A = this chain, B = another copy of it.
């Protein structure tokens, strides 16, 4: 049986990049950039005053620091640069271009005037002045032509602001794949229905739809009955029009677990069935025929915690690869209490993490009723990944040990 990492590697090897589309800046947040954004000008594009005060020539001032400087001219932000007359200063405002001939700015607070509020002014005795102070030099942040944003970036607020600064009203981003989410299981009824005592309402579709929304990926929700013909007919239509299928349920060993057979009948090539993990062991993955190329089919076990774990360990990394977003940096957390787990399986332990005042992230296990206990996920914000085949006699994962973390919320 494959380990979760082996299974993931097989899935990622099948992830083909989607195409790109141009979207307006206001719709680009959270999307994956597919172009390089470069500085169209120096950053900043001119020597920029960073404090309200006066600008002058440091060398001229330093020759006679106690001198009074006429400073009636004003350099406002947004105006072309003035030129400094010898022996004078120019009042300058934050964001303005530095006047020609000036190289140093002294804040109003560090000046004194012959008469209150008027020119001439001079630097207060004892105030230290250094050459070039309060000037944000042209190109000192990034030179013209510098790469600012590389393809693959998941666009956040500063990225959008930088794109605006270089004049891009639109950005080239990854298209969004068209996914179908299909639940199976004849015990499941519609959310609006009044279930009979032996029925429950569907929830996995909503779980996956909501998780995909974080990536702006739309999906249609479908439900198919535990009948081979109906499964084949329904899945054939979806293979024909979707970029990937996310199924839940029907992949175990039961008499009504018809999903693998229906998929095989449709020519979906199985890559693997079952992974050495808990929860989520009966996971089935294959590649179906589609009009635009192979269609990945994730057939996740139907218990809600299994579906959830499968989304975060398999579907999301696949989606990131398809969108061309690089893998996120790994996360780790400290196990908060002893856990015993004997099976030779990777255990995705449900935890609530809490940042400690010593800078560590502590993960408290949240015991639940197993993979069918959807409500337990309400108290959980991550999965701690405990490796299989523990090498101690008590099958003990000890409080204080550190493990990889998959975090959500």
Interface size of A in residues (CB-CB distance below 8 Å): 121
Closest beta carbon of chain B to A310's beta carbon, Å? 13
Among A61-69, A162-170, A233-241, A283-291, the one that faces the other chain is A162-170
Tell me if A272 is interfacial: C-beta within 8 Å of chain B. Answer: no
Whether A80 touches B369, Cβ cut-off 8 Å, given contacts A158-B207, A253-B52, is no
Contact with B along A376-403 (1 / 0, CB 8 A): 1110100000000000000000000010
Tell me if A351 is interfacial: C-beta within 8 Å of chain B. Answer: no
Whether A372 touches B331, Cβ cut-off 8 Å, given contacts A91-B255, A186-B76, A377-B158, is no
A165 touches B95 (CB 8 A): no
Q: Which of A168, A187, A226, A371 has the most CB atoms of chain B within a 10 A radius of its CB?
A: A187
* Interface positions of A from 117 to 150, Cβ below 8 Å from B: 136, 140-142, 148-149
Tell me if A271 is interfacial: C-beta within 8 Å of chain B. Answer: no
Whether A375 touches B162, Cβ cut-off 8 Å, given contacts A256-B76, A308-B157, A360-B360, is yes
Tell me if A265 is interfacial: C-beta within 8 Å of chain B. Answer: no
A354 / chain B contacts, CB cutoff of 8 Å: 329
Tell me if A342 is interfacial: C-beta within 8 Å of chain B. Answer: no
A253 / chain B contacts, CB cutoff of 8 Å: 52, 108-109
B402 touches A187 (CB 8 A): no
A333 touches B308 (CB 8 A): no
A252 / chain B contacts, CB cutoff of 8 Å: 52, 94
Which of B160, B169, B211 sits near A207, CB closer than 8 Å?
B160
A282 to B359, CA, bound (A): 31
Tell me if A191 is interfacial: C-beta within 8 Å of chain B. Answer: yes
Tell me if A295 is interfacial: C-beta within 8 Å of chain B. Answer: no
Whether A332 touches B359, Cβ cut-off 8 Å, given contacts A156-B408, A198-B80, A210-B156, is yes
A191 touches B210 (CB 8 A): no
B169 touches A191 (CB 8 A): yes
A160 touches B210 (CB 8 A): yes
A202 to B136, CA, bound (A): 18
Which of B109, B256, B369 sits near A141, CB closer than 8 Å?
B369
Tell me if A89 is interfacial: C-beta within 8 Å of chain B. Answer: no
Whether A200 touches B45, Cβ cut-off 8 Å, given contacts A95-B302, A96-B187, is yes
B157 touches A210 (CB 8 A): yes
A329 touches B355 (CB 8 A): yes
* Interface positions of A from 177 to 205, Cβ below 8 Å from B: 185-188, 191-205
A46 touches B185 (CB 8 A): no
A20 to B30, CA, bound (A): 26
Whether A77 touches B372, Cβ cut-off 8 Å, given contacts A198-B46, A358-B402, A359-B332, is no
Q: Which of A161, A168, A249, A368 has the most CB atoms of chain B within a 10 A radius of its CB?
A: A161
Whether A165 touches B355, Cβ cut-off 8 Å, given contacts A91-B255, A197-B45, is no
Tell me if A213 is interfacial: C-beta within 8 Å of chain B. Answer: yes
A93 / chain B contacts, CB cutoff of 8 Å: 254-257
Q: List 19 A-B contacts (CB under 8 A).
A: A39-B375, A52-B254, A77-B186, A77-B226, A78-B187, A93-B257, A96-B187, A141-B368, A148-B378, A157-B210, A158-B207, A164-B203, A167-B192, A167-B194, A167-B201, A168-B191, A334-B359, A360-B361, A361-B361
Interface residues of A, Cβ cutoff 8 Å to B: 25-26, 28-30, 39, 41, 43-46, 48, 50, 52, 74, 76-81, 91, 93-97, 108-109, 136, 140-142, 148-149, 154-169, 185-188, 191-211, 213-214, 226, 249, 252-257, 302-304, 308, 329-334, 354-362, 368-378, 380, 402, 405, 408-409
Given contacts A26-B209, A97-B198, A169-B192, 8 further A-B contacts (CB under 8 A): A76-B186, A76-B226, A95-B302, A97-B197, A158-B308, A167-B193, A167-B194, A332-B356
Shortest 8 CB-CB distances between A and B: which pairs? A78-B186, A158-B377, A52-B254, A161-B207, A157-B210, A93-B254, A334-B359, A78-B187
